[in-house]
Amino acid sequence: MSDEDRDADPTGTSPSTSTPTTRSRTGRPSIRRVPIRTPSTRAPGGTTNAYVLGDLLVDPAGRHPDLDRVAESVEHVAVTHAHPDHVGAVAEYAAAAEATTWAPSAFADRFEEATGAEPDATFTEGDAIGSADAIAIATPGHAVDHFAFAVGEGTEHEGAPRGGEAILCGDLALAEGSVVVSREGGGLRAYLESLRRIRDRGPTVLYPGHGPAIQDPRSTLDRLIDRRLDRERSVLEAVEAGASDVDAVLEGAYDRDLIGVEDLARATVRAHLEKLLKDGRIEGAWRDRL
């Protein structure tokens, strides 16, 4: 029997419960990834992943038939962060499912502004949401309101049971490439700290906001940390070689063509300079140049 069959006819094997589709046959909360095309945004690869985690819907970036199909069993809606490519259908699904919308308590306004939905409830670090007890973990850096959601052992992943912790990591990490980190997002120090926090939890799988699941969390997170430290070194070298404004550092620190992504690269360089300034590794005059 396929998942679809089970959803269509829950009477065969499921015990009678008020929310028959939030748990799989095995009784474990299930995780499902639904890539959604987000063409009008700058989403990496042109899609954003929505996740259905038990009765919690995370990052409904747009309408999708697969989400429509499970909307009835959704009781909670949250986002990893309120960037435009993660929030497109929050209001619609929340209304359709009469679900509880959740926002980080410190960023409820931001959530409402981005989603058009007033949050019904707020969470902070360590709170658990929904039937899967998804634990909120503050992971700023890419966005100041960024949270990851961790679910523990005994979760069923896209149909297959799996041990260890799974973390919906939003735009903290990607299987390939890297994400934008800006001052507005919390800065590089915060980002590196977020990467280390998630790495140190030792998850067995990460589910990112874009692209496929990350099956080797430790090496992916180490790669992202190393990459930032490498970039930091090249930014510092550019400054030491005489670059005295952001554009000059940009030129010195990148040896590839930046057509189309120059603004993102500039934001990254700014974030690095900001961190170096905070760390006392470049002169105070940089404060006025950022």
Contact residues: Zn ion, CB under 5 A: 83, 171
Reduced to 3 states (helix: H, G, I; strand: E, B; else coil), residue 162 is strand
Of 229, 224, 226, 232, the residue nearest 175 (C-alpha): 224
Rounded to whole angstroms, how far apart are CA atoms 248 and 289?
11
How near is the Cβ of 81 to Zn ion at its closest, in Å? 6
Q: How many CB atoms lie within 10 A of CB 35?
A: 18
Compare residues 55 and 171 and give the one whose CB is closer to Zn ion: 171
Rounded to whole angstroms, how far apart are CA atoms 49 and 162?
20
User: Do the beta carbons of residue 170 and residue 81 sit within 8 Å?
Assistant: yes
How near is the Cβ of 200 to Zn ion at its closest, in Å? 23
Compare residues 165 and 171 and give the one whose CB is closer to Zn ion: 171
Q: Which helix (H) or strand (E) holds 271?
A: helix 262-278
Compare residues 190 and 243 and give the one whose CB is closer to Zn ion: 190
Compare residues 23 and 210 and give the one whose CB is closer to Zn ion: 210
Phi then psi dihedrals of residue 214, to 5 deg: -100, 110
How near is the Cβ of 264 to Zn ion at its closest, in Å? 11
Rounded to whole angstroms, how far apart are CA atoms 184 and 266?
13
How near is the Cβ of 229 to Zn ion at its closest, in Å? 22
Q: Which residue is nearest to Zn ion (CB)?
A: 83
How near is the Cβ of 44 to Zn ion at its closest, in Å? 9
User: Do the beta carbons of residue 161 and residue 245 sit within 8 Å?
Assistant: no
Compare residues 128 and 265 and give the one whose CB is closer to Zn ion: 265
